[in-house]
Each structure stands twice: as structure tokens, then as C-alpha cells.
Amino acid sequence: MLAFYYINGTGTAKNEAEGIRILEEGGLHPQLRYSESLYYDYWKAKAHLAGCSDTKAYVDYLCRQYQTNSAMELSHLIMKREYADNNTRLKDEAEYGNSWAQAHLALKLMDSGQLKAARLYADRSMASGSSFGRAIYNKLNTMPHTYRVTNCVSKVNNVKFVKVACYSDKTEVYCHYYNNTGRQQRLTINPRTRIVHNGANYALKKSSVPSTGTDIWTGKDYDFVLTFDPLPADWTSSSFNLFENGSWMFYDIKGEEM
């Protein structure tokens, strides 16, 4: 391929700018992304032309140019090419203060839903001056704080609270219902359902259970989400109660950030 002849050439044959021009004006073929060796050469040439010391520095450069998606794409490629997807090495380098490793580890943790740990490494990377770390941190700030339910007191034995997701404008409670009654049950949610925290009521805004209810066969499970007005950010310093109706009353609900 002529483009890579220019990118990888030596002497007068080397012309990275021309190679990149050919690739980009011709349209980068999607299959190029599956050829890690060629695609990585493309990114290395881009980094060199931008005056960056290496592809990791170019990740930061891309973030400063507000090209966060491209920065994440390149970061994943670096992980494959230079680390062979070795997560142990990545974590070791993150712990030793490598800001790119910290930011990429934050990205991996974010992708796997471990948001608390992701925020920790993104914050460390950002504190080292990493634009990539800041980009991941900003992306994390658009995502909810999610808590694993660690305590709930109730006489109800067929409803469990799995997790609580707190957004700026709403709180979602993820619930699991198991029909252990020995007969078919119709699950409905009272629209007056509410959360009570420190004496304040937080109204139900939405339920994933249909308003007319849904039939659950005996021995079957059903997952649903209840959405309320937003709880305060410090709710985990105490707990909250949830009241659905006269038969569903849950007390002292506590959570641990995931």
C-alpha cells in the first residue's frame, strides 16, 4: 500500500505527511482497524507529525483537541500493541504514577462498571496534568454514582433491592422480585410509592412495571426499576426507607459505592 510505503519508508522514501494524506483523503477503510500493525503505524506517524514524543503523549494531544473518542480508540490500541492486554502490568504502572496507565485503567474500569475505582485513577491521572485523565474524569461525571445495597430491613421476603443509581436529576432503585407464593401473582406498583430520607419524601417519578401490572408465574423472577426524585449526594452517610403500600415497607436501606 502506497500510503504505508511513505509512512514506513527510509531516507527520501519516507514522507509521513503524504502517507497520512493518502489514507485520510482516500477514506480510512474500516478493515484497517483490524490490522493492528498497519493501524498502529498510522497513529505513530500522526503522533510524530504533531510533535509528540510517542503515541501515549499523542493521546493527551488528542484530548486537548477535543477528540476524546479518537484518544480512547488509540489508548485501546496501545494496550493491545505495547501491553498485549496485560492488565497486571497496566495496574503496576498506574500504581507507580504513570499518568497514561492511570487514565487507561480508569477507562477500563469505567467500561466494566467499576465507577468508584475508575474515578480514583482518573483523578490521580488528572492531578498529574494528564488531559486524557481529565477527559475520562469528565466522562465519569456524566454517569451516575452507583451503590450496591448492603442492608435492608423488611418482612417482605420476595423483593430484594440490588443497587441504587444516583443522577443529578433522579434516583433509580433496581429491584428483583421472586414469586415464591406457589401461585401466579400480578405485580403492580402503587403510584404513591416514595422514599423517605431524613424526614423528607422523594416521590416516585416512574416505574418500569407497566401501570396495569404484570403477571408473574410461580417460581419465576422479575427485575424492575423504580425512579424517584434525586436523593442528596450524602445519603449513604445514613440510610433511607422505601414505602410502596401497606404490605411493602422497607427500612434502613444502606449502600456501598460500586
The tens digit of pLDDT for each residue in 40-55 reads 888 888 898 899 999 9
Other CB atoms within a 10 A radius of the CB of residue 209 amount to: 17
Q: What number is the average pLDDT over the span 27-38?
A: 64
Query: What is this structure's pTM?
Result: 0.68
Domains and CATH numbers, the chain: 2-140 (no CATH), 145-257 (2.60.40)
pLDDT of residue 177: 96
Give the bridge partners for 153, in sequence order: 251
* Single-letter code of the amino acid located at 193: T
What are the helix (H) ranges across the chain?
2-8, 16-25, 36-49, 55-64, 68-83, 87-95, 99-111, 115-127, 131-140
The tens digit of pLDDT for each residue in 62-84 reads 999 999 998 998 898 899 888 88
pLDDT of residue 258: 82
Other CB atoms within a 10 A radius of the CB of residue 193 amount to: 17
The tens digit of pLDDT for each residue in 176-227 reads 999 999 999 999 999 999 999 999 999 999 999 999 999 999 999 999 999 9
Q: Which residues contact 159 (CB under 8 A, 6 or more apart)?
A: 175, 176, 177, 178, 248, 250
Which cell is 144 given? 451516575
